[in-house]
Structure 1
Amino acid sequence: MVTIEKKLDFPYTYPLERLGKLDELLFFDIETTGFSSLTSNLYLIGCVYYNKAGWQMIQWFADQAGAEEELLHAFFHFLKNFKILIHFNGDGFDIPYLLKRCSAFGLPYNFSEVASVDIYKKIRPYRRLLGLESMKQKAIEQFLGVFRTDKYSGGQLIQVYQDYLMTHEDFLYRLLMLHNEDDLKGMPEILPILSYCDFLQNDFVLENQHLQVRTDIFGGQEDFLILTCESPVFLPVEFNREDELLPGLSLSAAENKLTAEVPLYRGILKHFFSDYKNYYYLPYEDTAVHKSVGEYVDKAARKQATAATCYAKKEGCFLPQFSQLFSPELKTDRKSKISYAEYKDGLFQDSKALNAYIQSLLHRMS
């Protein structure tokens, strides 16, 4: 086994203190001869960590076919010095792979003493919201405006490693080590994507709330609620997302501002009562009344309410809601997937109501 240690230029692209103390963090990446731990081998582990001298890199390389077990010993002994492991899709591949290789050698190591921060897993819930083409590292780099060229992929280097084991050519060795080093150096370039998790999961403060009247293509008037919210977190790149099913509904964010544009419904909606067996429907008034009141209505002017006719109507301006946050809940018809609440000027002065509504929008559009 070969061990390489060197000082590394690791630029500050994201406030790592949000993840933990610098000297508790360990970035890592592995190189293998295939995806299956049953039919392939581990040949390189690279890590980046921080100490008093700054950022450091350490790599363990299996320079011989029988050195894999030695790599595992070295890595897991080193891991004991840290509390937080940071990686890209390590929960899905790197960590399970290492555990299975440990099992193959009968080694007792595990990751129970460290917290796992998987950049891939943290950002995956927001893929649609951010408009990411895929969850590959390249797609995240492109979203952030990072354009890094990899000369070789991990798959292409499998044959390079096989050739190295046969020839021990120095240029093949440098190629393998450099690829892993470049992957580790590329980690700071995608770390800013974590700002979106911080931004979207933090509470927002209402900066401005106002109504806007717009003219549609037919000359009609449409009412929109514009909510502008502020976050303590700043974003590296702005994003904009329009709802696919409700025209006019959109979310956009830039710097530390989130803006929600919500189309309002102006007209008559219905509040449906669940216990319809206790109600009469009055056809002439097109409304339902409780039987304690309806028994005084002429029998010819009333009938037993059904689930579809057990409602009271209300006219006004209404806010769409995508989970039942506000009461009473109103709908255009009983089976409608979108419900509404009566809109009032001070509806979002309460921070809990504001953040509950913003989170419902984020959930809908993510």
Structure 2
Amino acid sequence: MITIKRPVDLPDTYPLERIGPLKELLFFDIETTGFSGDTSQLYLIGCTYHDGFGWKLIQWFADTRDSEGQLLEAFFTFMERFKVLVHFNGDGFDIPYLLKRCKHLGLNYNFDKITSLDLYKKIKPYRKLLGLENMKQKSIEAFLGVSREDKYSGGQLIDVYREYLMTRQTLLYDLLILHNEDDLRGMPSILPILSYPDLMESPFSLLSQQACSCENNQGTDCAFLNLVWKSPYTVPVQLSYDCYPVSLELHQDTLTCNIALYQGELKYFYPNYKDYYYLPLEDAAIHKSVGAYVDKNARRKATAKTCYTRKQGLFLPQFGSLWAPALREDYKASLTYTQYSPELLSDTDCADTYARQLLSYVSEKNRL
């Protein structure tokens, strides 16, 4: 086994204290000869950490096929001094792989005493919101505007490692070590993506709301509501969406939204339609306890589609179960409304929930 340890310069891209005390954080990445921990071999583990004076890089390299166990022993012993293990998709691959290799070699090591922070899992719930094509690290780098060119993939380096074992060429050794180092150096570049989970997992504070109107293409006045929220966190890349009835922009720590208000008549559909009669002349449903006194020729059994009462006014779209009663344009309409008043969002929790519902709604639509 060969051990490499030296100082390394890592960019300050994200406030790591949000994850934990600096000295408790260990970033790691592994290199293997395949995807299966049952049939392939671990040949390199690399870590970066802060020792209180600066960032350090440490790598353990299997320079022979039978030194894999030494790598595992060195890594797990070293890991004991840390409390948080940071990685990209390590919960899905690296950690299960290492545990399988330990089992194969009869080594009694585990990750029970360290907290695992998987950047992949942390970001995945917000993939649609961010408009990520997939969850590959390169897609996240592209979203953040990070340009990093990998000359070799992990798969290509498998043959490089096998050739190294046969030839011991320094050039091949350098390629293997450098690739792992580049992966570790690249991890800080994607850490700013954590600002989005930070923002989504913290409360939004409503700064202002203003009912406005504008003239559409037909010359008709259209009412809309302008809402502005603030977050304790700042995001690195602006997000913009426009999916009727919502136009939304997330910029730094500010969420700004314009929402089209509905002016006119909507319907409230009673859930238990079998308890109601429908009155065609009044175009409304009434409870059977009252409808029993109505002439039989002026009533009929209500159906799910006719069991409603009508209401006129100015209405705010809602994108989840927040306010009752929830009204619709027709029975099959997915979008519901509530009668608008400024007091709707006066409650801090309601305002926060509404912001999250808006973000969830637009993330399901096409991103502009």
Class of the TM-score when normalised by the shorter of the 2 chains? over 0.9
CA distance in 1, matches of 2:305, 2:53: 72
Residues 43, 68 of structure 1: 8 Å contact kept: yes
The aligned residue for residue 187 of structure 1 is 187
Structure-2 residue corresponding to 1:199: 199
- Residue 326 of structure 2 aligns with an amino acid whose one-letter code is E
**TM alignment of 1:1-366, pairs within 5 A:** 1-243=1-243, 247-366=244-363
Alpha-carbon separation, structure 2, partners of 1:144 and 1:183: 16
Check the 8 A contact 2:34/2:40 in 1, yes or no.
Answer: yes
Contact 1:328 1:341 (8 Å CA) reproduced: yes
State the percentage of identical aligned residues. 56
Structure 2 CA distance for partners of 1:96 and 1:365, relative to 1, 3 Å: farther
Shift of 1:118: 1.0
By how many angstroms is 1:77 displaced? 1.2
Native 8 Å contact 1:46 1:58 kept in 2: yes
Distance 2:61 2:223 in 1: 64
Residue deviations 1:59-104, cap 9 Å, x none?
1000111111111111111111111111111111111111111121
The 1-side partners of 2:201 and 2:214 are apart by 31
Q: Is the 8 A contact 1:280 1:305 kept in 2?
A: yes
CA RMSD in angstroms, aligned pairs only = 1.6
Stretch of structure 1 that moved more, 25-34 or 5-14: 5-14
Indicate how the Cα distance of structure 1 residues 40 and 256 shifts in structure 2: closer, same or farther if over 3 A, else same.
Answer: same
Per-residue Cα deviation, 1:271-327 (whole angstroms, up to 9, x for no partner): 111222322221111111223322333332222222221111101121222221101
CA–CA separation in structure 1 for the residues paired with 2:53 and 2:355 = 44
Secondary structure of the 2:73 match is helix
Give the AA of the match of 2:196.
Answer: Y
Could you say what secondary structure the match of 1:190 adopts?
helix
Alignment length, in residue pairs?
A: 363
Aligned to 2:366: none
Deviant stretches of 4+, over 4 Å: none
Distance 1:220 1:91 in 2: 55
Aligned mates of 2:323, 2:77 — CA distance in 1: 54
Offset at residue 211 of structure 1 (A)? 2.4
Gaps of 5+ in 2: 364-368
Q: TM-score under structure 1 normalisation? A: 0.95
Partner-residue secondary structure (3-state), 2:127 = helix
Aligned-pair CA distance for 1:27:
0.3
Say which SS state the counterpart of residue 352 (structure 1) adopts.
helix
* 8 Å contact kept, 2:206–2:352: no
SS state at 1:347 partner: helix
Kindly state the Cα deviation for residue 110 of structure 1 after the two structures are TM-superposed. Answer: 1.4
**Structure 1: tracts of 5 or more residues without a match:** none
Letter in 1 for 2:90: G
CA distance in 1, matches of 2:344, 2:81: 50
SS in 2 for 1:331: coil
Structure 1: how far apart are the matches of 2:116 and 2:316?
A: 40
Q: Would the aligned equivalents of 1:130 and 1:241 in 2 still touch at CA under 8 Å?
A: no
